[in-house]
Amino acid sequence: MPNTATSSASYQLALQQLTDSALPTGAFAHSLGFETYIERGLVRDEASFWVWLAAFISQQLTYSDALAIRFLYEGVSVAELDALMTAQLLPRQLREASIKMGNRLLEIGAEIFPSPALAEYRELVTSGRAAGHQPLAFAVIARSLAVPLGDALGAYLFATVTSLTQNAVRAIPLGQNAGQRLLRKAADDVAAAAERAGHLTPDDFGAVSPGLEISQMRHERQRARMFMS
């Protein structure tokens, strides 16, 4: 009879490594659109960044990344999901950010968490039949490690929120304590996003507020930038 405690500890440790902010995927170089709000003076402190972050979690992270992860776990082909991700990520910089970080995650995963499913996705990307998006790379690795879907969703969403908050601490700037307050506050929103993603349908995929997308599109024409997106 397998030792479930040992099995759980094994995937939990792997999941911590996979979502560690020190994992060199390049997340530190991306604001995913909030820098445009800083430039316009709409995000300028802890409270205003929280408004943006809460909207990002409840919309883009839920209806795009979280839903893609869930569908992959449920057996939708990675090639199909990759094409859908590319099509629904309308802002060019956001699409490129997902691909850049996804390809780095595929490269890192091939070294530390190799699996047939990951090798298949990498081959699709290498041959030009897929782009290699970050949430899908994460989902392929997590599923191969036998991470339950709920744990995978929570870990991915919170890791994304952590990276964005760390970037906001530098860019606005915010104090480190403010960053920790924001992360604690975001925990409930992340849990709600993971729960909501479990009840969405394929028709919901990519349903994002136009305001977020327009801001992300404007970023590439912004006069001065700290971030790539």
Q: pLDDT below 50 — which residues of the chain?
A: 1-6
Gyration radius of the chain over CA positions: 17
30-94+152-219 domain in CATH 1.10.4190.10? yes
Q: Looking at residue 8, what is its pLDDT?
A: 65
Sign of the dihedral defined by the CA atoms of residues 87, 88, 92, 95, in that order: negative
Q: Looking at residue 2, what is its pLDDT?
A: 44
Predicted TM-score (pTM) of the model is 0.93
CB 72 within 8 A of CB 136: yes
Q: Which two tokens stand for residue 201?
A: 């349908």
| Domain ranges across the chain | 30-94+152-219
Q: pLDDT tens-digit profile of 75-108?
A: 999 999 999 999 999 999 999 999 999 999 999 9
Q: How far is CA 217 from CA 39, 54, 95, 188, 199, in A?
A: 14, 20, 11, 29, 29
Distance CA 62, CA 135 (A): 11
CB 212 within 8 A of CB 55: yes
